[in-house]
Structures are given as C-alpha cells and as structure tokens.
Amino acid sequence: MPEFTRGLAQSGARVFGVGDSPAHVLPNLVRSSLSDYVQVASLWDSQRVIGELHERLRGQELDRIECLWEPGIMLAAELREHFGVPGLSVAHARLFRDKEAMKMALDNAGIRTPRHVAVDSIAACWEAVEKIGYPVILKPIDGAGSADTYRVESANELRSVLPLLRHVPTISVEEFIDGEEYTFDTITIDGRIAYHNIAWYRPRPLIARSNEWISPQVIALRDVDDPRLAAGVKMGFDVIKALQFGTGFTHMEWYRKADGEVVFGEIGARPPGAHQVDQMKYACDFDVFKAWGQALVTGRIEEHFERRYNVATVYKRARGIGRITRLDGVDSLQQKIGQHVVWNTLLAPGTPRRDWRKTLVSDGFVMLRHAELEKTLAMADAVGSELQLYAE
C-alpha cells in the first residue's frame, strides 16, 4: 500500500488517507505521500466512518475513493455512494466480493465457471455436494486468497471439514477443476484494459496452502501472447466486459485443463497480494504503481513498459518451530544464480518463524528473473529444493 500511495501522489493527486491507526505509525513513504490523514475509530462501522469523514472533509472536493484491500472494498463503495464519487457502487462491488453473485453474472454472459451453489446450512451443503459430485471445493463467498478453502473428495472428508467452517456464514460449494492455475491481472481505464499480466501458480494455491513442505512459486510470464494462454486471455477480457469494470486494478484467477478448456476461478477489484505487483515491475522494468496512479488521475498510462523478463517468486517455509537458527544453501545459490535475484526477504537467524497458514509470504521469499522461461523455472526449482531455513 505505501507504493500505491506514492504512485497516486506522483501522478498529481492530493491523497487523503483513512485508517484506524495513529498517523505516527504509518510508514514514512505513506506519510510523505499524503496531503492529509483521517484517523477513524473503526473501519468496521461504515456509518460511523461516513460521519467522521463527512465532518473532517467538510469543504473538500473528492474525485475518487480507492481501496486496494479486499475487506475494505464494500466500505469504499458505501463511501462513494455517500459522497457522490464515481466508481464501484455497493451493488456493483458486491459482484467482486460475493463469489456466488460473481459466477451467476458470468454464467449469464456465457463464460465457463465451475458448477456452484451457495449454502448457509449443513443440510444445504450436503445437498449441494450430492448435486455437483465429488471432488468439490468449499470456500467463503466473500473470502480472499485460499483462506478457509478446502478440497473435499468423500463424505467422510466432508464430515471432517464442515466443523472447520462453522464461523463462515455462507460458503460456495463448487465443482473442482483439475488443471493449471493462472492469474489475469489488469490496469483498466474506463473499461479498456491498458495493461495486463499473467502469472502461473506452481503448484496451484490450494495444494501449496495444504502442504507445509512445499515452497510455492508464482511466475509472472513474459510471453503473454503464448497461444496456450490465448483462451484464458480472451476470457479475462470477456470477464472485465461482462462485469462492467471501469477504472482501477483487477486480479482474476483461472484454470487451464489438460484438454485446453479454460474455466473462470474468481476476480477481485484489487491488485494481487504477496508482492505479485512487484513482479510486474521487475518483469517490465516500469513503475507499475505510478502507472496505476496515472490511470486514475489522467485516464492514461504514461509509463513506458516492455515485457523483458519472466519473474519467479519462491516463498520459503522454515522447518521446525520457534526462531530461525540457520539458512542452508544460500552461498552456493548466490554463486550460481545471484545475478538474477532482484529481491530477497528471507528471515534472518534469530527472527521468530511465521505461521505459514496465515501468511502468503511465509518466512520470506526470493524473487528472480530471466528472459527465458525454462531457465527461470530451473532457478526457481533450485531455490525451492536447495535453499532451506531451519527453526527451533
């Protein structure tokens, strides 16, 4: 978020920040990019936020209200309606938050989605699974990433998973799509896609989030015109059109089956997380954050970009629990591929290990790039297998 704030300010916007934290805890980059900051009592009471902002911003004219954080998408929509600002309305934003409404809209547009049913009771879940057939995916209708998402292959597994979802009011029961998983990320201006990115998940997130030993990879692909991706790209353009998205960042996920069929996954009216936007920066050697700001402020991207590299991010998980004690394989990998590494955030010895189930970036990551995809993948696999963190 600090980089997005900077991108807006450097594009000519006067940026007002809104948050529930004191101004003095904001990162320096955020403070230097803001024209003003409004601290509210809570971001979870929308009417109170509206009242506090109405009072603090009296006399100020607002041109846009932006939120790039999934839980705040609906709050931003409510604020737009109150202040009469263009952008996603509450009803429109719901299409990007409610996975069932999202898929129904795309079904109506003729876009292939997994068979799906939204349920709010155990009985309804059993009925939906019987209708769709195993295996199925259970996920919150308004979730983000793969949190609270489960693949269920049998009645016994369903019995064991349902208690884990008691805290989720409504879940989506979906057909499981067996295939490779990709993203389709855009900066869109008045419904026109001005920039797009495709990333490849290795392995797909549901597998990575279910197996601690895996070092997940995300590969931002240089060749977005690869014929194998063409159907997914077309679907991405069709989804933006069907959901009538105007201006801003979007993050879509989709599947490519072994027979070449492509299936929609889900889409958010926000950028991807886990530093995938930084991948776009390193793939094209351009300031993607400022490009987004220009799209909002001027209605055009003035930053020049050229797709030069594939960029791989490998997220590492330490073995053991407690504090990081050592990192093995760093020196040998540095000698072999160090010139291709653009960012290294691996936790240093003495640092407490993170809970791998609650963070996408795990215990740090290595980001590297190369113009050739096969060499990029080989280096990423080497980081995954030869570099190890240990904790105790």
Count the domains in the chain.
4
355, two tokens:
């809970």
The predicted model gives 349-361 an average pLDDT of 95
The predicted model gives 254-281 an average pLDDT of 97
| Domain-located, residue 120 | yes
Strand pairing partners for 183? Answer: 253
- Banded model confidence at residue 144, pLDDT cuts 50, 70, 90: low
Instruction: Supply the CATH number for residue 73's domain.
Output: 3.40.50
Q: Is the pLDDT of residue 335 over 70?
A: yes
If asked whether residues 183 and 168 sit together in one domain, one would say no
If asked whether residues 189 and 286 sit together in one domain, one would say yes
- Banded model confidence at residue 146, pLDDT cuts 50, 70, 90: low
Average pLDDT, the chain: 96
Peptide linkage before 272 cis (omega within 30 of 0): no
If asked whether residues 153 and 207 sit together in one domain, one would say no
DSSP 369: E
If asked whether residues 199 and 288 sit together in one domain, one would say yes
Domain boundary among 267, 284, 308: 308
Instruction: Please compute Rg for the chain using Cα positions.
Output: 22
Q: Is the pLDDT of residue 145 over 80?
A: no
Picking from 388, 391, 392, the residue whose alpha carbon sits closest to that of residue 331 is 388
**What per-residue confidence (pLDDT) applies to 147?**
75
Please report, rounded to a whole number, the percentage of residues in the chain having pLDDT higher than 70. 99
pLDDT tens digits along 182-233: 999 999 999 999 999 999 999 999 899 889 999 999 999 999 999 999 999 9
The range of the structural domain enclosing residue 161 comes to 115-175
For residue 185, what are the contacts with CB-CB under 8 A and spacing of at least 6?
A: 196, 197, 198, 199, 249, 250, 251, 252, 271, 272, 276, 280
Output b/e per residue, 46-60; b: 16+ Cβ within 10 A.
Answer: beebbebbeeeeeee
Please report, rounded to a whole number, the percentage of residues in the chain having pLDDT higher than 90. 94
Q: Classify strands 116-119 and 16-19 as parallel, antiparallel or unpaired.
A: unpaired
**What per-residue confidence (pLDDT) applies to 148?**
86
Burial class (CB in 10 A: 0-12, 13-18, 19+), 194: middle
**What per-residue confidence (pLDDT) applies to 58?**
86
